[in-house]
C-alpha cells in the first residue's frame, strides 16, 4: 500500500486483509512482536532502536521475510508502510524473487496535499480516553468535549498543519519515487483517495478481483 501520511492507506490495508482473510503486515507491528518474543532478529533491531537509529534496510527486510514465510501468508498478505524507500524496495524485490514470490499490486491511495492538511488538521483527540474525532466528518456532540468521557479534545502536534506539511515533504522526497519504481514494474494501480473510504475500497476490490 502506497500513499502519503493521512491518505488512509492503513485503513484500506486492514479492510483488504479482512475481506480476503490474509494478514495485514506493518513493519512496526512485526518489530514489536519480535522484540516482545525476544527473537534473534528482534534483539538485533532493538539495538538500533534503543540508540535512536533507524533499523537498516537489510535487517528490516529479513524480519519482514521471516514474517511472510509463516503459514498464514501462503494465500497472500498486505504490506502497509513498507517499503518506504527505493533501496528497501530493491532489497525486498530481489529477496522475494529468490523465494519465488513477488509483489502483485502496488496500490497508491492518491490524495492531494491540500486535502491531507485539511483532513489531519481537523482531527481532535481526547486527552483522557484517546477517542478521536474530526471537526467536519465526525464532530463531537459538544465542540471541544469528548462524547465518551467529557474530557477536553486537543489538536495533536502530529496533526498540526506545519507538522503535516513537513511529513508530506519527507514523503515526497523519499517515498514518492516508489510510485515510479512500481510503475516501471507494471504493478502500480492508483485509486482516488479523496472519496469516501467505502468508495476507495470498492476501487481497490475492483482491481484485486
Residues designated catalytic:
9, 84, 123, 156, 167
State whether residue 39 is helix, strand or coil. Answer: coil
Phi, psi of 126 (to 5 degrees): -80, 130
Q: Grid coordinates 518489530 are at which residue?
A: 31
Candidates 36, 73, 79; CA nearest to 60 is: 79
Give the C-alpha separation, 35 to 179, whole Å: 31
Percentages of the chain per state (helix, strand, coil), in multiples of 5: 50, 15, 35
Give the C-alpha separation, 199 to 114, whole Å: 20
Q: Grid coordinates 527486510 are at which residue?
A: 61
Amino acid at each position: 500500500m502506497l500513499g502519503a501520511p493521512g491518505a488512509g492507506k492503513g485503513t484500506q490495508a486492514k479492510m483488504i486483509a479482512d475481506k480476503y482473510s490474509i494478514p495485514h503486515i506493518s513493519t512496526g507491528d512485526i518489530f514489536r512482536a519480535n522484540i516482545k518474543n525476544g527473537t534473534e532478529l528482534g534483539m538485533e533491531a532493538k539495538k538500533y532502536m534503543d540508540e535512536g537509529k533507524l533499523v537498516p534496510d537489510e535487517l528490516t527486510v529479513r524480519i519482514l521475510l521471516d514474517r511472510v514465510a509463516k503459514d498464514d501468508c501462503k494465500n497472500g498478505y498486505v504490506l502497509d508502510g513498507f517499503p518506504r524507500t527505493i533501496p528497501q524496495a530493491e532489497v525486498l524485490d530481489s529477496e522475494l524473487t529468490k523465494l519465488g514470490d513477488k509483489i502483485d499490486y502496488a496500490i497508491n491511495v492518491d490524495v492531494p496535499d491540500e486535502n491531507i492538511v485539511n483532513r489531519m488538521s481537523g482531527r481532535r483527540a481526547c486527552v483522557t480516553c484517546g477517542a478521536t474525532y474530526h471537526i467536519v466528518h465526525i464532530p463531537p456532540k459538544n465542540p471541544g468535549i469528548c462524547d465518551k468521557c467529557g474530557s477536553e479534545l486537543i489538536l495533536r502536534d502530529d496533526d498540526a498543519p506545519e507538522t503535516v506539511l513537513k511529513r508530506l515533504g519527507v514523503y515526497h522526497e523519499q517515498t514518492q519515487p516508489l510510485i515510479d519504481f512500481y510503475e516501471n514494474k507494471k504493478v502500480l494501480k492508483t485509486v482516488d483517495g479523496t472519496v469516501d473510504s467505502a468508495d476507495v475500497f470498492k476501487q481497490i476490490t475492483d482491481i484485486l478481483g
